[in-house]
Structure 1
Amino acid sequence: MQYIPGKKHKYGIKLFKICDENGYVHDLIVYEGKKTTPGQNLSKDVVMNLSEKYLDAGRSIVTDNFYTSVDLAKSLLNRSTHLLGTVRKNRRGLPKDIISTKLHKGEMIAKENDDGILVLKWKDKRDVLALSTKHSVGFVTVRSKRNRRKTALKPSVIAEYNKYKSAIDFSDQMGSYCNPLRRNVRWFQKLGIELLLTTSVVNAYLIYKSRKRLTTKTYTITKFRENLCIQLMDLQQRRATDPVVTKHEFGKNPLTDHRNRLIRRKCIHCYESLRQEGKSSVEAKKLTKKTSTVCLTCPTKPSVCASCFANKHSK
């Protein structure tokens, strides 16, 4: 369990996920504390473990500033894998002149080392520090999300990072709709619910949407969940049947106390009648008669006195 003050849900279990560009979760790690490989920090250890089966194939990995570092970039380059991501200014190995230079909006400064690791700083609304092993210094024209007619120049590193960084956010966003998690569920149950009813359902939704060539607007995750529930319950193939009439059976409570005496409990119908008359719950409990008889047919075997069984319960 971890406390994250900046999040809406401040307490939770930390999961590290690796997604493709569509948001499909290929693998994840449950954070169990600082159990890292000797000589590596947590963020690097997580990336190397999650991406192990995808290395040595010329792929690119996009990370946010929690994971990105020069050390990680070198390790991935040794495994024929590129790294792209924002980076924190206190990471080791970053050029000090890049970090300390003050820029005006739209300006950029960059430096590339002999290993092909490019570090750049670009001024937008605030300073953006990024690292890439697959880009060179350059700008591209991008369209505004709010006004498609408006264009602006951005470094190619930032433009591609923005394109792929939303994959994990999209997966989490889809999982937040109709979330089955509740406060009174224990932490290990929450983990099971998260994996079974959130992550796996979102993955299934992305596959289905891709196969059917649907969009998120035309076929929502909520509609997919509804259809999934219907198919799992097989409601469409069920036929209407005559309701089963259960005959209630009156008898003694089979349970006894430590002295082998019949257990006497308050009649449920007497209590309900008193509450309907306007009695408070405390008054109703005091006035309700105790009985050793129950309904033997009902699953919970509720305590019922003889008069209530004849007049209410058996009807």
Structure 2
Amino acid sequence: MSSVQALREFINERLTAAAGEIFTVFQQTVVQYEEEIRRQLTLLENIEKPQIKFHRTESPQQHIGNQKTSASLQQEEHEAPHIKEEEDIVEVTVTDGESDNSHDSVRDLTTQRLTAAAVEIFTLFQPTIVQYEEEIARQHKLLEIIWKPQIKLHRTGIKMQRRLNTQQALEMILNGAKDSHSDEDDVILQPSSDSELSDEETAPLPQKRARMGSEPTETAKDGTVWREEQVGTPLNFTSIKPYAADGEPTAKARKSIGSRLQSFLCFITLDMLRTIQEWTIQHARQTEQVDWFMALPELMAFIAIMILRGVTKVPSLCDSWSANLGNPRIIAIMPRNRFQDIMRHLRFDDMFTRSERAETDKFAAISNVWGSFVTNCIASYNPGRHITIDEQLFPSKTRCSFLQYIATKPDKFGIKFWVACDLKSKYICNVLPYLGKDPSQPSGERLSESVVMRLMEPFMDKGRAVTTDNFFTSLSLARRLLSRKTTILGTVNKIRREIPQSARQTDRNEFTTQVFSTTGATLTVYAPKRKKTVYVLSSMHSMVETEDTTKRKPNTITQYNTTKCGVDVMDQMVREYSVRTGTRRWPVAVFYNMIDMAALNAHVLYQECSGREERRVDFLVQLATELANSHVGAKKACKEQKLQQQPPTPSPGKRAQCQVNHRCKNNRATVRCVECYKYTCGQCKREIPWQCQVCADQADS
């Protein structure tokens, strides 16, 4: 086969393939247009069978099909000469071999011919597409005419009315309304008796937005239908039965709490302390000494020192043991070096399996201990009706993947926690750490809704009320909570799609209120200042009324101001006596926050169970004393045992050092005290005057 024949076959194959692809795309487009026309024809036939007539000798499908066939034939006729001409040109160009630039001239000429062929093909296709589009537009206009119950063409001059049926009005509009009526007429479209439309067919199409004042309802961007209500009138709203009891400890907690230490151990249990003890010893033996050990009472004393350091603030750790700024209670519990040694090795999980668990759990370094603490918080207290949900930023600059920066917070950097708090007692009911994007969260679900539902899960179906800020509050959340017999009250961001458009205006008169209602919720729009607007969504108020004061605040705003402060007050209380100190390890920072929360909850439980009020600072000092008593008592007993084991007198020819040091500075001693068994020098001993037996007996009696 010569090169010219091979080139001819190659060009034929490529052009044939291109023509096939073009025709396939055109055919798909034609099929879509035919389906749309067929659908609209069916709808028109169902609406007005005897009246509507299409003045055509052939159907649009037949006409377009013929056009398509003729276009295809014309396409083939036009394509063939071009292909032949290009092949001839290629033959001449190849056989003649004019110059070195022959290949470029062939390429340019081929490109020009193919471009011209493509333009002609598109020119043939375009009229067919235009006819389809015109037919669809005509039928769409016909549908709009039939769906409207009346069409009025207002003309100036003497007003007269002429009633036309559907067919006459249609012809009049399609012909441009040239000679159908005089300039003084009002044309009213009425269905004839043979083609009366049903109520559903004559009903106007639903409007996306109705203007306030002319229509009672308004549709928001997300499709929510709102109805504007008058302030002070009862709403068409069925409220659920509210939770009647106040917050109180559970029966199990009441039985186990008799002291401050027992209330604290309800949250930081002995099992949790044993877990911390185990992994701390593991880390110390792997990194320092093989025989390193820490007893459980010593760990409790370690926590006691942390609590005391939170009560009495000093510039640095060393100052807590100094002579000038030191705390005698801390000095008596544990030496400074031992405290620092325990802090250095403090761990909360198995160091050998941590990397494996961290692949699926970012909180793996402390997740087991933290989970037990949260479970204990839920199981130890029944919160009252009102629960506040908000965020807490625990200050820390440790290196971790979920460290947050919030510019509006005082400390800017920290680990964020979602907290649910009882309004009256400030008891921490539930808490979740924020670890970044959760891969297990369902797609499309908002983070705010997921957080609220998880925090409120143990307290649902009782009639409780949740107070949130504008980060959490949404209409979809309100409906989800209402399905679980839980109401919500919170501010809403005005950019949310469920807010009606008429409520978004900012230039309002001062102290004005606007109320909207929808299924299961009310929206209060209040202007405390002229260009400031507050939006409050509530699913618990069946009537919104304003107070008789100058500011005329609605009851929803007043109640929100009362219930919004639960988490903020709790965070303020925790910060006042926080055990937090500088650390480079984020699990230790989380442990600090856990101790603060446990101490606050323990104070609430202790007051509820004992029935007496006690200042929190006094409670913390006594709690630290009770935590350290076991370790201090064991240390004292061990010291006494060592003193008793020493000989009554030093070995011959040697003197011991004075162990009392009451009046001396490390004097030598040879005699031991009969009470404490310490070696005592002459300056530190007490002389007993000589007595007769009669006086001694009288003194003893």
TM-score by length of 1: 0.67
Identify the match of residue 528 of structure 2 among 118, 124, 147.
Answer: 124
Identify the match of residue 74 of structure 1 among 475, 479, 496.
Answer: 479
> Would you tell me which structure has more strand in proportion to its own residues?
1
Q: Give 1:83 shift.
A: 0.9
Q: Give 1:212 shift.
A: 4.7
Matched, 1:157 2:552: no
Q: Give the 3 Å change call, closer, same or farther, for CA 212–140 of structure 1 in structure 2.
A: farther
Q: Give the 3 Å change call, closer, same or farther, for CA 100–244 of structure 1 in structure 2.
A: farther
Matched, 1:20 2:426: no
Q: Give the 3 Å change call, closer, same or farther, for CA 100–26 of structure 1 in structure 2.
A: same
Q: Give 1:193 shift.
A: 1.6
CA distance in 2, matches of 1:236, 1:243: 15
CA distance in 2, matches of 1:17, 1:55: 16
- Aligned to 1:18, what secondary structure does the other structure show? strand
For residues 172-218 of structure 1, the C-alpha deviation after alignment (integer angstroms, 9 at most, x for no partner) is: 111101211122241111112211x1111111112223345556xxx
CA distance in 1, matches of 2:608, 2:511: 37
Please name the residue that 1:93 is paired with.
498
Please name the residue that 2:448 is paired with.
43
CA distance in 2, matches of 1:227, 1:141: 49
CA distance in 1, matches of 2:544, 2:487: 16
CA distance in 1, matches of 2:610, 2:546: 36
Q: Give the 3 Å change call, closer, same or farther, for CA 110–175 of structure 1 in structure 2.
A: same
CA distance in 1, matches of 2:606, 2:509: 46
- Aligned to 1:111, what secondary structure does the other structure show? strand
Please name the residue that 1:227 is paired with.
622
Matched, 1:184 2:184: no
For residues 156-182 of structure 1, the C-alpha deviation after alignment (integer angstroms, 9 at most, x for no partner) is: 111111222111112111110121112
Check whether the contact 1:140–1:159 (CA below 8 A) recurs between aligned residues. no
* Structure 2: segments with no counterpart, 5+ residues: 1-402, 647-701
Identify the match of residue 545 of structure 2 among 110, 135, 138.
Answer: 138
- Aligned to 2:557, what secondary structure does the other structure show? helix
CA distance in 2, matches of 1:15, 1:242: 47
Check whether the contact 2:528–2:551 (CA below 8 A) recurs between aligned residues. no
CA distance in 1, matches of 2:590, 2:472: 23
- Aligned to 1:49, what secondary structure does the other structure show? helix
CA distance in 2, matches of 1:235, 1:48: 42
- How many residue pairs get aligned? The number is 233
Please name the residue that 1:269 is paired with.
none
CA distance in 2, matches of 1:213, 1:102: 53
CA distance in 1, matches of 2:589, 2:572: 17
Higher RCO, 1 or 2 (CA under 8 Å, sep at least 6)? 2
Q: How is 1:190-229 mapped onto 2 (pairs within 5 angstroms)?
A: 190-195=589-594, 197-212=595-610, 219-229=614-624
Amino acid of the residue matched to residue 6 of structure 1? T
CA distance in 2, matches of 1:128, 1:48: 25
Check whether the contact 2:511–2:551 (CA below 8 A) recurs between aligned residues. no
CA distance in 2, matches of 1:185, 1:141: 55
Q: Give 1:101 shift.
A: 4.8
Please name the residue that 2:464 is paired with.
59
CA distance in 2, matches of 1:74, 1:138: 23
Please name the residue that 2:157 is paired with.
none
Q: Give 1:14 shift.
A: 0.7
For residues 54-93 of structure 1, the C-alpha deviation after alignment (integer angstroms, 9 at most, x for no partner) is: 2222221111111001111121122222111111111221
> Would you tell me which structure has more helix in proportion to its own residues?
2
Check whether the contact 1:20–1:26 (CA below 8 A) recurs between aligned residues. yes
Check whether the contact 1:69–1:92 (CA below 8 A) recurs between aligned residues. no
Check whether the contact 1:60–1:81 (CA below 8 A) recurs between aligned residues. yes
TM-score by length of 2: 0.31
Q: What is the root-mean-square deviation in Å for CA atoms of aligned residues?
A: 2.7
Identify the match of residue 410 of structure 2 among 2, 5, 8.
Answer: 8
Check whether the contact 1:73–1:82 (CA below 8 A) recurs between aligned residues. yes
Please name the residue that 2:570 is paired with.
171
Amino acid of the residue matched to residue 7 of structure 1? K
Please name the residue that 1:267 is paired with.
none
Amino acid of the residue matched to residue 221 of structure 1? R
* Structure 1: segments with no counterpart, 5+ residues: 143-150, 248-315
CA distance in 2, matches of 1:19, 1:99: 32
Shifted more, 101-110 versus 57-66: the winner is: 101-110
CA distance in 2, matches of 1:121, 1:103: 10
Q: Give 1:118 shift.
A: 0.8
Amino acid of the residue matched to residue 626 of structure 2? Q
- Aligned to 2:524, what secondary structure does the other structure show? strand
Shifted more, 93-102 versus 20-29: the winner is: 93-102
Check whether the contact 2:421–2:567 (CA below 8 A) recurs between aligned residues. yes
Check whether the contact 2:432–2:455 (CA below 8 A) recurs between aligned residues. yes
Check whether the contact 1:112–1:118 (CA below 8 A) recurs between aligned residues. yes
